[in-house]
């Protein structure tokens, strides 16, 4: 099987374009799911403090027998820890839970415009410390809109390496993607199959029938050919394998356009709008 391509980030680090997401995986099942994914060939895991399963990710990685350096690990700062001292403490705890002395990528999970007096800049400057210390090899953001990114550009020094945002055929999020592309910020597309919500779509099913692949594989391949980074989640071993088999077929330009035309804009979101989301877990 063809290898997963790397995407080169704006600081020279490489990230595998296809990884494995662990949102909503029960902490007790996470180590087994991660081990399964690593066995299949995934070398990039996306977790977050909010998912409460960082320890399971670390355990799965150690049980795999792979060297730490062979796997790209991402985690994210939980919403309750944006104040700089809290962020420092939370980052230490993330490294402890993962059982590692660095992450490959660390993200601000949400901008939270209605919290901390709207200040996500001092949070970002704290992530810049982690980057300079080498404890986060790359730093980035998640769920940032164009106006949030513009503010970071004018008030801080390091350009985020990535912006992890909701992208799938029902919300193609072109405005944010265009800004990111212009400023060399790699886009990570979360919920790449809309948590299963696009898999019955007739346009996607027609293409899937023609190319002899599943609706999930066609949708994931659409992301790959658009150049975004993805990490579909599954706890079903057959699907973990299926979602990795994306590199032995190609979609035509017409297929890509037909899938992109399914965009429903704001109506297509499965998750919250980042301009309105101010949730802090208890």
Least distance from C-beta 140 to ligand NAP, angstroms? 10
Query: How many Cβ atoms from other residues are within 10 Å of residue 122's Cβ?
Result: 15
Known catalytic residue at 179: no
Q: Find all residues with CB under 8 Å of 132, minimum gap 6, and list them.
A: none
Give me the sign of the Cα torsion angle 50, 272, 168, 186: negative
Binding flag, residue 243, ligand NAP (CB under 6 A): yes
Q: How far apart are CA 14 and CA 127, in angstroms?
A: 19
Contact between 138 and ligand NAP by CB under 6 A: the answer reads no
Nearer to ligand NAP, 84 or 237 (CB): 237
Report helix, strand or coil for 104.
Answer: strand
Q: Does 142 bind ligand NAP (CB under 6 A)?
A: yes
Could you say which of 36, 94, 126, 191 contacts ligand NAP (CB under 6 A)? 191
Choice between 132 and 147, CB closer to ligand NAP: 147
When asked if residue 234 is in the footprint of ligand NAP (CB under 6 A), the reply is: yes
**Rounded Cα gap, residues 36 and 79, in angstroms:** 30
Q: Is residue 120 part of the contact set for ligand NAP (CB under 6 A)?
A: no
Using CB under 6 A, count the residues that bind ligand NAP: 29
Other C-beta atoms lying within 10 Å of the C-beta of residue 19:
23
Alpha helix stretches (DSSP H) within 156-278 = 174-182, 202-211, 215-226, 237-242, 253-260
- Interaction mask 143-172, ligand NAP, x per CB under 6 A: x--------------------x--------
Chain residues that interact with ligand NAP, rule: CB under 6 A:
21-24, 46, 109, 142-143, 164, 190-196, 199, 214, 216, 231-236, 239, 242-243, 271
């Amino acid at each position: 099987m063809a290898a997963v391509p790397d995407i080169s980030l704006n600081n020279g680090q490489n990230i595998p374009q296809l990884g494995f997401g662990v949102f909503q995986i029960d902490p007790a099942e996470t180590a087994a799911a991660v081990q399964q994914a690593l066995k299949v060939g995934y070398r990039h895991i996306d977790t977050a403090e909010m998912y409460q399963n960082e320890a399971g990710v670390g355990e799965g990685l150690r049980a795999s027998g792979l060297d730490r350096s062979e796997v790209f690990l991402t985690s994210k700062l939980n919403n309750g820890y944006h104040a700089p001292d809290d962020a420092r403490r939370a980052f230490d705890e993330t490294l402890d839970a993962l059982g590692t002395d660095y992450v490959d990528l660390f993200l601000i999970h949400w901008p939270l415009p209605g919290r901390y007096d709207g200040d996500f800049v001092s949070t970002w400057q704290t992530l810049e410390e982690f980057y300079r210390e080498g404890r986060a090899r790359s730093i980035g953001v998640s769920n940032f809109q164009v106006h949030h990114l513009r503010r970071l550009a004018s008030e801080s020094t390091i350009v985020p390496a990535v912006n992890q945002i909701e992208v799938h055929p029902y919300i193609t999020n072109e405005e944010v993607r265009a800004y990111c592309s212009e400023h060399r910020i790699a886009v990570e597309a979360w919920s790449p199959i809309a948590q299963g919500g696009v898999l019955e779509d007739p346009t996607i099913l027609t293409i899937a029938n023609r190319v002899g692949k599943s609706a999930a594989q066609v949708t994931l391949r659409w992301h790959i050919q658009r150049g975004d980074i993805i990490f579909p989640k599954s706890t079903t071993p057959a699907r973990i394998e299926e979602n990795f088999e994306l590199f032995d077929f190609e979609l035509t330009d017409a297929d890509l356009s037909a899938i992109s035309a399914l965009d429903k804009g704001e109506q297509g979101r499965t998750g919250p709008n980042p301009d309105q989301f101010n949730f802090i877990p208890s």
